[in-house]
Structure 1
Amino acid sequence: MINAPSSFAACEENTPLFAIDGNSQGRAWAVSDDGLILHFDGQHWQREVSHTDINLRAVLCAPDNKVYAAGAEGTVLMRNQDGLWISLECPLSSGFHALLLLDDGSLLLGGGRYFVDKGGFRGELVLYKDGVFKALDFNEDMPRLRALKSYKDGVLIVGDQGHLYYLNNWRIDKLESNCRHDLMDIIVLSTGEALVVGDYGTVMTAANDFTQALAPPPQAATKSPWEIMPSPSKKQLWDVTEGPDGSCYACGEAGTVLHLVAGSWQQLPAPSELAVHCVWDSGSGLFAAGQLGRIYRFDGEEWSLHFDLHLDITILGMWGSGPNSIFAVGDEGLILHFDGLRWQRMPSGTKSALYSLWAWDAQRMLAPGDFGLVLRYNGSEWADFNIGSENFLYGIWGDSLSNIYAVGLSGTLAHFNGQRWQLMATRLRADLLGIAGSEQAGVFIVGTNGSVMRLDGDQWLTEESGTDVGLRAVCATQADVVYAVGDRGTIIRRN
Structure 2
Amino acid sequence: MDGSAETISRRGFFRGQFGARPETAQGWYSVVGLPAGADDVFWDGWADDSGLFVVGDHGAINHFDGEDWTRMACPAPVPIHALWGTDRSNLWAVGWMGLILHHDGEVWSQMRGCVVDAKGKYASVDENTPLFAICGGPDGQAWAVGDRGMVLRFDGTDWLVEDAGTHAHLRAVICLDDGRVMAAGGDGTVVLRGTGGTWQALDCPVASNFTAALALPDGRVLLAGGRYFIQANGFRGDLVLWDGERFEKQFSDTEFSRFRALGRTNKGVVTLGDAGQIHLIGDNRADRLQSGTGHDLLGLVDLPSGDVMAVGDYGSFLVGDSAALTCFAPAIQPGEDPSNWSEMTSGTDRQLWGMWHDPDQDMLFACGEEGTVLVHDRGQWEALPPAGALGIHDLARAPDGGLLAAGQLGEIHHFDGTRWRMHFDLHMDVTILSMWTDGNGQIFAAGDEGLVLHWAGDSWERMPSGTKSALYGLWGMDAEHLLAVGDFGQIMRWNGTRWDEFNAGTEHFLFDVWGRSLSDIFVVGLSGTIGHFDGSRWHITPARARNDLLALTGTDSDVVAVGAAGAAARYDGQRWHMDPTGTTAGLRAIAVEGTGRYFAAGDGGTILCRDAQ
TM-score, normalised on structure 1? 0.64
**Equivalent residue, structure 2, for 1:9:** none
Query: Structure 2 vs 1, CA of residues 197 and 257 (structure 1 numbering), >3 Å: closer, same or farther?
Result: same
CA distance in 2, matches of 1:489, 1:236: 5
CA distance in 1, matches of 2:594, 2:180: 56
> 1:71 deviation in Å?
3.1
**Equivalent residue, structure 1, for 2:406:** 289
Query: Structure 2 vs 1, CA of residues 72 and 354 (structure 1 numbering), >3 Å: closer, same or farther?
Result: same
Which of 213, 226, 236 is 2:285 aligned to?
Answer: 213
Query: Structure 2 vs 1, CA of residues 66 and 381 (structure 1 numbering), >3 Å: closer, same or farther?
Result: closer
User: Could you tell me whether the CA contact under 8 Å between 1:234 and 1:489 is conserved in 2?
Assistant: yes
Query: Structure 2 vs 1, CA of residues 195 and 75 (structure 1 numbering), >3 Å: closer, same or farther?
Result: farther
Query: Structure 2 vs 1, CA of residues 350 and 186 (structure 1 numbering), >3 Å: closer, same or farther?
Result: closer
CA distance in 2, matches of 1:47, 1:493: 38
SS in 1 for 2:285: helix
CA distance in 2, matches of 1:38, 1:226: 35
Which of 30, 36, 41 is 1:26 aligned to?
Answer: 41
Query: Structure 2 vs 1, CA of residues 210 and 345 (structure 1 numbering), >3 Å: closer, same or farther?
Result: same
Cα offsets for 1:99-143 (capped at 9, x unmatched): xxxxxxxxxx996469xxxxxxxxxxxxxxxxxxxxxxxxxxxx7
Q: Does residue 242 of structure 1 match 2:357?
A: yes
CA distance in 2, matches of 1:87, 1:366: 47
CA distance in 2, matches of 1:288, 1:397: 20
User: Could you tell me whether the CA contact under 8 Å between 1:331 and 1:353 is conserved in 2?
Assistant: yes
**Equivalent residue, structure 1, for 2:586:** 470
> 1:254 deviation in Å?
0.2
SS in 2 for 1:355: strand
CA distance in 2, matches of 1:385, 1:38: 32
Which of 409, 417, 420 is 1:303 aligned to?
Answer: 420
Amino acid at match of 1:276: I
Cα offsets for 1:62-100 (capped at 9, x unmatched): 995779955358844499xxxx975339xxxxxxxxxxx
Q: Does residue 41 of structure 1 match 2:57?
A: yes
CA distance in 1, matches of 2:88, 2:56: 26
CA distance in 1, matches of 2:467, 2:433: 16
SS in 1 for 2:371: coil
CA distance in 2, matches of 1:73, 1:240: 56
> 1:223 deviation in Å?
2.4
**Equivalent residue, structure 1, for 2:436:** 319
Query: Structure 2 vs 1, CA of residues 351 and 261 (structure 1 numbering), >3 Å: closer, same or farther?
Result: same
SS in 2 for 1:352: coil
> 1:28 deviation in Å?
3.0
**Equivalent residue, structure 2, for 1:453:** 569
Query: Structure 2 vs 1, CA of residues 198 and 28 (structure 1 numbering), >3 Å: closer, same or farther?
Result: farther
**Equivalent residue, structure 2, for 1:71:** 85
Percent identity of equivalent pairs: 39
Query: Structure 2 vs 1, CA of residues 65 and 469 (structure 1 numbering), >3 Å: closer, same or farther?
Result: farther
Amino acid at match of 1:71: G
> 1:294 deviation in Å?
0.9
**Equivalent residue, structure 2, for 1:233:** 348
CA distance in 2, matches of 1:113, 1:287: 72
SS in 2 for 1:254: helix
Of the two, which has the highest radius of gyration? 1
User: Could you tell me whether the CA contact under 8 Å between 1:335 and 1:347 is conserved in 2?
Assistant: yes
Query: Structure 2 vs 1, CA of residues 274 and 69 (structure 1 numbering), >3 Å: closer, same or farther?
Result: closer
**Equivalent residue, structure 2, for 1:224:** 339
Cα offsets for 1:227-282 (capped at 9, x unmatched): 00001111000011101221110000000000010111100001211100111124
**Equivalent residue, structure 2, for 1:337:** 454
Q: Does residue 483 of structure 1 match 2:599?
A: yes
Which ranges of structure 2 fall in alignment gaps of 5 or more residues? 1-35, 47-52, 62-66, 73-81, 94-100, 107-134, 141-176, 182-193, 196-215, 225-238, 251-267, 270-280, 289-328
Query: Structure 2 vs 1, CA of residues 213 and 436 (structure 1 numbering), >3 Å: closer, same or farther?
Result: same
Which of 376, 397, 408 is 2:514 aligned to?
Answer: 397
Which ranges of structure 1 fall in alignment gaps of 5 or more residues? 1-22, 32-36, 49-61, 90-108, 115-142, 148-159, 162-176, 188-193
Work out the number of aligned pairs and report it: 366
Amino acid at match of 1:256: T
User: Could you tell me whether the CA contact under 8 Å between 1:288 and 1:296 is conserved in 2?
Assistant: yes
User: Could you tell me whether the CA contact under 8 Å between 1:353 and 1:369 is conserved in 2?
Assistant: yes
CA RMSD across the alignment: 4.2
